[in-house]
Structure 1
Amino acid sequence: MAQKGDLPLDPADIAPAHAKRIHSQVDQFLTDRTLSPEDEYAAMNALLNEVLPAPAPPPPPPIERPAPELEDWARDDPRPAQTVPSPQASVAAPWTPVGGAEGGGGKVTPAFPDPPVWLPDGDHAGIPATVEEDRYALWHPPQPDELTVPDDVADIAPVDDPPPASPTPTAPLGNPIPATAPWDPQPARQRGHSLATMWGSLPGWARIAAPVAAVLVVALAGALVIGGGHDSAPIDAPPLTAEAPPPPTTAPADTPLLPQNVSADCPAGSSDNPGLIFGSDKSQAWICTRIYGVDNGVLTIEFKEPVVVSAITIVPGFDYVEPNGEDHWNEHRLVTQILWRIGGTQIVQKINPTRGGATLTIPNIATQIITATIQRTERPPAVPNQGGPLPGILGGPDAGQVDGSFAVGHLSIIGRPAGGTA
């Protein structure tokens, strides 16, 4: 048996702990029946890696790079390659300029003379004299003009200083100095003298024509003022017309609104169609039965589109008299208090029940659903109190039957569509 990499396998080279681990893996591979084919394949590879480890990978081949080609200027450099001197050599050998005197075909002049000449102490102390001379080699100080002193300089009298100028007078505060107007450069007396001189220099005919021309100008100006100063002939132009303003946009008038759906939450025995109270038939009413003398019947009114409600009128009883004289007003209890829910606003309406009905004014609330909860009712005035003598005698209403239900004869919701102009 050969190892990976064609190396001979020698059991003596395997450590006891390694051999024990190999035997354990072999026993598990041969005795474990729960291994799947994939697990068996993985266990076999693990066992082979334990017994026959993979050889080390060979080193990568060296990368050979071609030598770069030198440019022409580099090839023509005549200087030999410089070597880095050792520390001992650099200390012992004296310093020599690189290139020498033949480095570019010219001659290198030392910066300082040997030996250097130093300037004395002063502004340029410590600078070699050669450097100081070269610094001003092309500059020459300017020569001052020759001063000629006359022989009689002692006899020349000194010039007296001019007297100091008097200060400019200033006007006291509150009394400003009046300034002459720019259009009146001459005083009044001089101006009058000039006009008289000019008038005297005019010829005789000019002195006669000037007053006549002034009179004519004044007369013409007066005629223009009296006549209006303009031509009174009419001008052909289209007559002026004022554009009528657009009519103001008015909101649609409030009218009775017809709901799309009306439903009632009442016990059994109540009206099947409470929406009939929105019609004109007085023989139809919403009758809601009462259980244990409790009201709280709820009427829900839904519109097709949002509306703005401004008023609600309700007939709080069954206001209908049969042709034979039977009056339904006294057969059911009358509504005296309703809780309205309109567009999130709750309004309590207290009613004095009459056949003419009661109207509730709403502050223009927009909504699409209105609910009415009947909170309180009372017996009609013609019905005696419960426990009275001979209830229902002679065809009169029975108080027990009246307390079993309440009625609403008619309901009208006044408003307009919410999409109209407010």
Structure 2
Amino acid sequence: MTAALAAQSASDRARLTTGLTATVIFLTGIAPLATDMYVPAFPAVAGDLSATATQVQLTLTTFFVGMALGQLIGGPVSDQYGRRRLLLAAVIMMTVSSVLCAVAPSIGVMMAARFVQGFAGGWAMVIGRAVIVDLARGARLVRVLNVIAGVGGIAPIAGPLLGAVVLQVSGWRMSFWAVAALGVAMVVVVLVAVPESLPPHRRHAGGLRSFAVASRQVLARRRYVGYVLVSGSGMGAILAYVATSAFVLQSMNGLSPVAYSVDFAANAAGMTVASLVAARLAGRIATRRVILAGQVAALGAGVAMLAGALWLGTPLLLVIVCFFVLMTAQGLIGPNGGALASAEVPGHPGTGSAMLGFVTWVAAGVVAPVAGLGGQDTAVPMAFLMIGCTMLSMAGLVLTRPRRRHGGI
């Protein structure tokens, strides 16, 4: 009994420190890095494993599916059993699956290992986010989640460049060995820096019935659903860009691979800076206004891209500007929408984070193939997706408006 009370007291004293925030940034960046480092090696993987381009592409799809399911399940389970032990289990699982990817003898084994890698990465990400929600409230929560998103944005900047370097000096398997090494480092960091943030008396009973009840409670909150739509639709716009930007810039406009990588990094940097700016604005300017500013900018970029694709031959300068504006705007939309969604369900932080992560990665999995339906010679489908996703995001923001009663808010 004394030991249990001591454990509960330690959990209650858990604080949000700089080291803990840095650890969550590490957790947030490692799973996307596992994909971004791997993408430049697609042709080499196809040749080495005697696979078609479509089969190699499916390893990306299985990763996204795993990420979505990992976040959907990991959050509620951690609401029942606590954060720290499950986070360690997820990181170990991701490390082992990365090793399996590195030694995969066939494309089938690679698909399965990538699914497990995504599942474990999503599990770790949602628990890391739930730890932050456990320990922060109000403007501080918004600020910290924006910092995590902003600094975590280094992964999509560095990933393709690191992957290209690794591919030059070694084979594609080395990318997965590198991710496995990062996984080992993460295990150590979690052991040192992450406390148990959810004491036993704040946990929820488990079981499928309990999860269904918690999900209904979370989804019954109109403002939560609205903010999930804000953030998830923003991710859809990002994936429309990621899935087709190489074709638009290289195939249609003749940009070299090196120049494309530089432009890709610049756009990711714009999103990172915008996230950090949003963090500074938390508590000073209404977060909903910051989101709206990003949505208006993103919608303008989508409309300009559509006009250029339909009537101007998709000129390079217009494409570069539109992509930069779109990605920078997402730095104002996604992290803020996710932070406000979490703030709406403080009683179920794990379930709330799980639903948010599930919607976000499902949007990624759906939009990516749709964006390429027109082939590599047109930007029209991508432009329509940019506009459509942004309008859905704006509809979500409208859904979050406080109801007025008797002339008040």
Please, what TM-score do these two structures have when normalized by structure 1? Answer: 0.16
Query: If each structure's helix is expressed as a fraction of its own residues, which one has the higher value?
Result: 2
Structure label with greater radius of gyration: 1
Query: If each structure's strand is expressed as a fraction of its own residues, which one has the higher value?
Result: 1
